[in-house]
Amino acid sequence: MIENTLYPLYTNPYPMVKPKYPYLVLSLFTLFVYQAGAQTITIDDQVFKIDTLYPAAKTSGQWRGLSYPWEVTYGPDDSLWVTETRGYRIVKIHPANKGSRTILNLNNLKDFSYYTAMQAPQGGLMGLAIHPQLLSGKPYVYVALVYHRNDGGDALNNDNCQYGKPAGNDGPCYYTTKILRYTYNVATSTLASPVTVLDRLNGSNDHNSGRLTIGPVESDGQYHLYYTVGDMGAGQFNNLNRPNNAQNTNIYEGKVLRLNTEPDADADDGFFNRWIPNDNPFTHTVTGHKSAVFTFGHRNAQGVVWGNAGGTWRLYSSEHGDVSDDEVNILESGRNYGWPFVAGYADNNYTIHDGSAYPKNDKLAGKNIGYEDTFAVNHNVKEPIFTFFSPDKTIIQGYDWPSNAANYWPNIYTWQTVAPSSIDFYDRMYIPNWRNSLLVTSLKFGMFRLKLNTTGTGISGDTIRYLTNNRVRDLAINPTGDTLFFAIDSSGSTSGPTGGFSGSTVETRNPGFILRMVYMKTLPQVSLPERKPTPPVHEMVKIYPNPASNTLYVAAPKNTSKPLVLRVFDMNGRQLFELQNNKDIFAINLRSAPRGIYIVKLYNGIGINLATEKVIIQ
């Protein structure tokens, strides 16, 4: 174990290196350069320095992170604004000196405890959005929070989320959410004068979504606030029998909402009309009031961001799939995004099966569905621009489906999800080749960088992973674009058959931390000067030669599930580093490696240990 002098930031670092040649040369011990309080890693030929921004020091002798950080936003005051989803605090952190302070505590607004509720809400104090003119006349900060548990005689009376109820209670658990606007006092660095933007939003113990963002000035000359509200987990777990309202435009569930940042001149009649833009696409069919709904048919869109690519502003979102088909969407006013009748592309992958071996394969949200393509055509469904782990053998950074995919992907328990938790848009020039990229954080695999095409309407090129095996909840980008900040979740529990990092709940690396990743440089790409070795003729893993001096080769059977993961340990069992590669055969440069004996382990793309070898470097 190589420890950070502040904290063991990465006891098991995971860089991802994208191969550009059949034999990629990697330096075994120059891949990481450890500095006081920081580490450097190389990913896709680019060098980054990573350290811990929060906590800056130990508390009571321990390293204590935030209580489930949900939102991290870089404000116009050059501070990070962070919400604690369970701590119900808004914390500001100085990105240079690591100073921090609580500027607002909202615990007094909620009437439940995470420690006594049987089914606590997924998300509590959630999204935060800062008005672009915070320091120039519009000192407004918007927050969304789950604040009320609907039991004990409420209209939606349900006591299954009360503490102490017997096991097996599988009814839904209802909560209530609202959006507030606070006024920021620059002189005192405090938030005060709360105003309710929208209230009586349905909430749940599952799939509240809860992201906020403000876009550019729109055609009406105003800024608008966008909010993602999930489907409440309808159709799964204790919400199995909860109605799914994602297709019902009268109900704010499974939607993206569009709101005013300031009240307009409409009459205030209790329906929040003053906060709902008059040019929104829907009108409530019963009340006749303009609706806040902007788009519908969403499952759990935890990411939403505006980006300008190709000269056009677009609203991008990331959305959790069910057993597969995590989505990246472009949101367009009035459009339907399919859930719960379409997941991912309208490719009928939940409809085509053998009818017996995989009986759950024809269900979405716990219900039988028809053909996805037919529903999409008949209901104005806009398909995503990208999906993760789609069963069409889409390659995601080496995760390609096996040759027998026709038999493989219908099995609900072997499908893959990344659990996309947020999305951001990189529009800076600082990091080479990053401009016009979508950055999608994941609760299972760190962060994915998706390069947009020139028009911003699709994804082109490879998908690169960063901070692998960190459960990343959100990220922020500094104004120059050289630094990224990551909010790390406090536990590693992801629901569903693909939960956790490997199908189970695990402890999270860097729990509750804010990590800082600074771009350093891009390395020149060189090809391997040595002669291409002859692969082994037998279908076995080969790590050779042994003893090794200048170069170590790794060869796996053809079509082994990718990426291949190589981990190197010293003789005390301390992991020194890890690298990943998408080729069956690759090479490692040993010229600068210290002489000695090492343990080398090779894993395939689904985590199976293929080989363990004791390697002598001489």
| More confident position, 25 or 458 | 458
CA–CA separation, 32 and 16 (whole Å): 13
Strand partners, 217: none
Least confident interval from 258-272, 406-420, 513-527: 406-420
Per the structure block, which two tokens stand in for 469? 């095996």
- What does the pLDDT read at residue 18? 29
Q: What is the pTM of this model?
A: 0.78
Respond yes or no on whether the N-terminal peptide bond of residue 194 is cis (omega within 30° of 0): no
Residue 292 falls in which region: left (phi positive, over 0), alpha (psi -120 to 50) or beta: alpha
pLDDT band at 336 (very low <50, low <70, confident <90, very high): very high
Beta strand ranges found along 454-501 (DSSP E): 459-466, 472-477, 483-488
Please determine, for residue 535, whether its predicted confidence score (pLDDT) is greater than 60: no
pLDDT band at 210 (very low <50, low <70, confident <90, very high): very high
| More confident position, 284 or 365 | 284
Q: What are phi and psi of 7, to 5 degrees?
A: -165, 150
- What does the pLDDT read at residue 362? 64
* Residue where the block lists tokens 């995004």: 337
Nearest to 258 by CA among 290, 289, 286: 290
DSSP secondary structure string, 156-177?
A: T---TTSTTPPTT--S--EEEE
Helices (H), 387-509: 405-408
Alpha carbon distance, N-terminus to C-terminus of the chain: 23
CA–CA separation, 229 and 292 (whole Å): 11
Please determine, for residue 260, whether its predicted confidence score (pLDDT) is greater than 70: yes
CA–CA separation, 579 and 4 (whole Å): 20
Question: H or E stretch including 374?
Answer: helix 372-378
pLDDT one-digit tens code per residue, 29-84: 333 332 335 888 888 889 999 999 999 988 877 888 999 999 999 999 999 999 99
* Residues in Cβ contact with 119 at an 8 Å cutoff, skipping those fewer than 6 apart: 160, 161, 173, 205, 238
pLDDT one-digit tens code per residue, 548-573: 888 888 988 887 888 888 888 887 77
Cβ contacts of 611-617, under 8 Å, gap ≥ 24 = 611/541, 611/543, 613/543, 613/546, 615/543, 615/546, 615/547, 615/548, 615/552, 616/546, 616/547, 616/548, 617/547, 617/548, 617/549, 617/552, 617/590, 617/593
* Residues in Cβ contact with 11 at an 8 Å cutoff, skipping those fewer than 6 apart: 1, 2, 3, 509, 575
pLDDT band at 415 (very low <50, low <70, confident <90, very high): low
Please determine, for residue 296, whether its predicted confidence score (pLDDT) is greater than 50: yes
pLDDT band at 248 (very low <50, low <70, confident <90, very high): very high
pLDDT band at 410 (very low <50, low <70, confident <90, very high): very low
pLDDT band at 579 (very low <50, low <70, confident <90, very high): confident
* Residues in Cβ contact with 426 at an 8 Å cutoff, skipping those fewer than 6 apart: 434, 435, 436, 437, 438, 439, 449, 477, 481
- What does the pLDDT read at residue 493? 60
pLDDT band at 162 (very low <50, low <70, confident <90, very high): low
Q: How far is CA 504 from the centre of its chain?
A: 18
Nearest to 35 by CA among 17, 53, 50: 50
pLDDT band at 394 (very low <50, low <70, confident <90, very high): very low
CA–CA separation, 24 and 206 (whole Å): 44
